[in-house]
Every structure is written in C-alpha cells, then in structure tokens.
C-alpha cells in the first residue's frame, strides 16, 4: 500500500511536536522538589485538572481502537463506559475526600494505612504492570499512524516516538504532563469532530445514509441482552465497565494524582464532574466514527481495505481521503491522545515507585534530591520497557486493540477495586483478612488466566469469557475478606479514624 507523504501534514505535525518539547523544557525549571515533580505543588484549578483527566484516560485507544471496534463489530464495547457518570458521583462524594485527606501523593499510601505493607505492595505492583501494558498498546497504536505518514518501519517509529514522549515527561514532571494534557485533550476533541464531519460529508446520502446502512448491518447493537459467562453480551461488557471504572475512580494512580494536584477538594470534585460530563459523549463520537467508516467503505469499496487490520482502516482513510493540513491536524490529535496517556503513565509509575517502594522500603531516609533524581531515572527505565512492549504488540494478531485492552484490564486487574472499596465501606476487614483474601483471589486469578491461555487441560478450565475475570476475582476477594474479617472484627484494635466512611474525619 502506497501513501503519499504530504509536506503540509509533516509541517503541521512538527509544529505540534516542537510545542510539546518546549513545554517540557519550560516546566523542567520548576521541578525543585518531589512535591513539584509529582503533584505540581498541589496548585491546579478544577478545569485544568478535568481536561488533564480527559487527556490521560482518553488515549489513542479512543481515537483508533474504538472506531476499529465499531468498524469490525458494533457498539457493544461502549457499554463499558455507560457507568461513568454514576461512578463519578461516588468519586465526588466518597473517594476524593479520602485521598485529599493528609496530602496523600499515591493511591497506595491509603492501602498501607488501611491494611498494611502487603496490600500496599500488591497495589503498587499491579498498577505498574497494568500501566506498562496499557502504555505499550497506546504507543503501538500511535506508531501505526506515524508509520503511514513516514513509511518508516514500525519498529523504528515505536522507538523514536517512545523516546520523544519519554523525554518531555522525564524533564517536565507533572506540570508538563498536566498542561500538555490540557492542550492534547482540546486537540483530540477538535480532531475527532473534524474527522467525523468530513467522513459523513463524503458519503453521498450524508447522515441519513450512515444511519440507514448501519442499522441494516446491526452496527448500533450494544450486544445481546442476556447473561452468558462465555460471550460478550451487553451484561458481560457492562459488568466489566462497573469493575473497570470503580477501580479507576477509587484507586488508579493517574486519577488519584490529579485529585492530589488540585488546589482544593472542591476543585478536585469540579474536575471529576467536568471530565465525566465530556468523556461519555466523546466516546459515543468515536464509536460513531467507526460506524461511519464502515458505511463509507460500503458506499466506496476499496481493494486496499481488505488487506488492512481493523486498527489501520481509520489511518488509511485519514491519509487517502482528507486534504493536507486537515489530515495533519487529525494526525496531531491521534499523537496527542497517545502522548497524554503515556506521559501520565510514565510520571505515575515514577511517583508510586518512589513513594511506595523507595521511601518506605528500598531506600529509606534519603534526601528529597535523591528521590527526585531517582524519579527521573525510573521514568527513563519505564520508557524503555514501554517501547519494548509496543514492539511486542506490533508482532501479534488481534481483533482490535480495544478488545486487547479490555482483556488485559480484566485478566491483570486483580482485585484492586475490591481492596479499595472494602477499605472505604467496611470496618470489618483488617490487614490479616485482606492479605489472606488477596492470596486466595490472586491464586484464582492465575488459574483463570492459565485457562484463557489454554495452558490447563480442557476439563480443568472454567468456561468464562475473559471480560468476566475481573468481576469474579474481585467478588471472591470481597467474600473471603468480609467473612474472615467478620470473625476477627471484635478483637481488632486498629484505629480506623479517617480510613472508612463510618470513621470519617469531620472537616
């Protein structure tokens, strides 16, 4: 497949990239302490944090993988996100006040206070592993677009893109991450709107033809309305959404770091409501882009499309159908989406590595300057690992990267959601009960994972879809921890003041 490299597109993208580098260098001057580097001295307003949340959570997996999922199948994966407004309300009322208490920097500091060292370490390592996998997926996706633009080998594109993002994140810290996320979120929204509008205008019958052909091909389906542990029905995906978003709002370091970076609890709450109000309509927009893309190539058949993976169809449309500069803006939006997630992930991993591993365990009692330098080195190592993972993703077959992302979240997410929610909402679970339940749940998680990989004999495998793994593992943790904790509750002497909703500190 030959794509003409257009000078105007290259210039448009380069202008954007130079802006990101300059932002990183500008904010690097402000990073004198770990407090500056990790939470920006807790000085950001709600609207800035809200757009930064949007840029962080909404990635190139949104711009490329969601349209690919709608293009190849239907809208059933949208149901993952339908619960966001409801979970956001819970975050505003419960989660944010908890994490704002005591100037926490890491989500897993709470687990340490509530349960002890083992759950804190489990949470830290689970987060790091999930973030590394997620960032590798995102880097791979954005590299597909850059490969289309340049014609360079995907491996070299991944390396160059990863190094670029890593550089401005490492030098700029959280201020560079948050302010560039704001810009990237705006570019993402504008790029998505332009792409959708142009695509619909290029279809002879316009919006009405898109709806007509999509309905005829059942493209707006949200999945079958039945319970089935072995299939991606509506309820399977929706339950995965509940687990995923409860985990993100209650204990994902990317979100918690933004709660902590706001200048007040009220600003953090405003940010969360702003993000949640924008995010769902935006996800709907990108699913619609995928549906319109399907209709476009039904009306305008192309021999090239048959030889592309689903994640490559939208980049092909951008380069082959849109005029110069317009396509450059959309390419910049795709790159921005990847950068905003990757820079946040790199900074978040360096934060929890220092706060949850080095300070209490690996390197106690060092100077703040030592920890700041360590954060820079950790961010560099994380960048190398993400680049390696993205190269690995470029070599495997997949239906779409959004499907891969959902599977990874379910299988490797463990029982973090259960840990946080049980910590918040019950007094009965102590550290011992949590650790025992963790061992049981993680063992079950490994068993289910081995079954999905086909390692176990067929008659040993529990026949469930990979999307159900997270719900089953979290459910088992909750049951075991609560039952065991109920027996130990009367003998517990731990002071839970400020650590549960029943012992909240009044302000």
CB within 8 Å of 301: residues ≥ 6 apart: none
* Ordered DSSP codes for 227-282: --TTS--HHHHHHHHHHHHHHHHHH-HHHHHHHHHBSSHHHHHHHHHHHHHHHHHH
Q: What was the pLDDT predicted at 480?
A: 95
The total of other beta-carbon atoms located within 10 Å of residue 330's CB is 28
Any bridge partners for residue 44, and if so which?
262
Q: What was the pLDDT predicted at 460?
A: 84
Tens digit of each residue's pLDDT, the chain (507 residues):
455 667 777 787 788 778 777 776 777 666 677 877 788 778 889 999 998 888 777 665 677 778 888 998 888 878 888 889 889 999 999 889 888 876 788 889 999 999 999 999 999 988 898 888 888 888 887 787 777 767 788 899 899 888 887 876 777 677 777 887 787 788 878 888 888 898 999 898 999 999 999 999 999 988 777 776 667 778 777 887 888 888 889 888 888 889 989 999 999 999 999 998 898 898 899 899 999 999 999 998 888 887 777 777 888 888 788 888 888 877 777 777 677 777 788 888 999 999 999 998 889 889 988 998 898 899 899 999 999 988 988 877 654 455 555 566 655 667 888 999 999 899 889 999 999 999 999 889 888 877 776 778 888 888 777 777 888 889 999 999 999 998 877 666 778 888 888 776 554
Q: Which domains does the chain have, with CATH numbers?
A: 7-398 (1.20.1730.10), 414-507 (no CATH)
Q: Is 421 in contact with 482 (CB distance < 8 Å)?
A: no
Q: What was the pLDDT predicted at 404?
A: 58
d(CA 92, CA 77): 26
CB within 8 Å of 493: residues ≥ 6 apart: none
Q: What was the pLDDT predicted at 64?
A: 74
Q: What was the pLDDT predicted at 150?
A: 73
Nearest Cα residue to 169 out of 383, 5, 430, 354: 383
d(CA 41, CA 305): 49
């Amino acid at each position: 497949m030959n794509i003409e490299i257009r000078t105007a597109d290259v210039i448009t993208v380069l202008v954007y990239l130079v802006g990101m580098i300059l932002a990183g260098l500008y904010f690097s001057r402000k990073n004198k302490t770990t407090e500056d580097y990790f939470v920006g001295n807790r000085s950001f307003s709600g609207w800035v944090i809200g757009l930064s949340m949007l840029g962080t959570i909404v990635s190139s997996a949104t711009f490329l993988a969601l349209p690919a999922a709608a293009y190849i199948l239907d809208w059933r994966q949208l149901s993952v996100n339908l619960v966001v407004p409801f979970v956001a309300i819970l975050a505003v009322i419960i989660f944010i006040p908890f994490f704002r208490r005591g100037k926490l920097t890491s989500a897993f500091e709470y687990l340490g206070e509530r349960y002890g060292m083992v759950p804190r370490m489990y949470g830290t390592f689970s987060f790091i592993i999930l973030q590394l996998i997620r960032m590798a997926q995102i880097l791979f996706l954005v590299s597909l677009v850059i490969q289309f633009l340049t014609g360079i080998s995907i491996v070299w594109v991944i390396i160059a893109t990863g190094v670029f993002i890593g550089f401005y994140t490492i030098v700029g810290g959280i201020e560079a991450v948050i302010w560039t996320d704001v810009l990237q979120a705006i570019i993402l929204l504008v790029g998505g709107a332009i792409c959708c509008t142009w695509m619909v205008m290029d279809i002879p019958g316009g919006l009405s033809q898109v709806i007509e052909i999509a309905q005829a091909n059942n493209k707006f389906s949200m999945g079958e309305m039945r319970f089935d542990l072995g299939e991606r029905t509506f309820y399977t995906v929706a339950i995965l959404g509940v687990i995923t978003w409860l985990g993100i709002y209650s204990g994902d370091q990317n979100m918690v770091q933004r709660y902590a970076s706001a200048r007040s609890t009220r600003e953090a709450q405003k940010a969360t409501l702003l993000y949640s109000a924008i995010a769902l309509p935006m996800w709907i927009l990108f699913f619609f882009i995928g549906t319109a893309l399907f209709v476009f190539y039904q009306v305008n058949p192309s021999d090239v499309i048959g030889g592309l993976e689903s994640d490559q169809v939208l980049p092909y449309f951008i380069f082959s159908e849109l005029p110069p500069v317009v396509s450059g803006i959309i390419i910049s939006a795709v790159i921005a989406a990847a950068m905003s997630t990757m820079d946040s992930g790199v900074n978040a991993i360096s934060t929890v590595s220092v706060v949850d591993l080095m300070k209490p365990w690996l390197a106690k009692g060092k100077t703040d300057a030592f920890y700041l330098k360590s954060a820079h080195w950790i961010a560099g190592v994380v960048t190398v690992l993400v680049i390696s993972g993205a190269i690995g993703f470029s070599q495997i077959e997949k239906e779409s990267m959004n499907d891969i992302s959902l599977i990874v979240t379910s299988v490797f997410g463990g029982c973090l959601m259960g840990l946080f929610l049980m910590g918040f909402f019950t007094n009965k679970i102590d550290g011992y009960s949590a650790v025992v339940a963790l061992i049981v749940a993680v063992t079950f998680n490994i068993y289910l994972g081995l079954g999905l990989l086909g390692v176990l004999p067929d008659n040993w495998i529990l026949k469930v879809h990979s999307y159900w793994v997270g719900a089953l593992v979290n459910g088992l943790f909750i049951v075991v921890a609560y039952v065991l904790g109920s027996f130990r509750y009367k003998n517990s002497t731990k002071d839970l003041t400020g650590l549960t909703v029943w012992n909240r500190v009044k302000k």
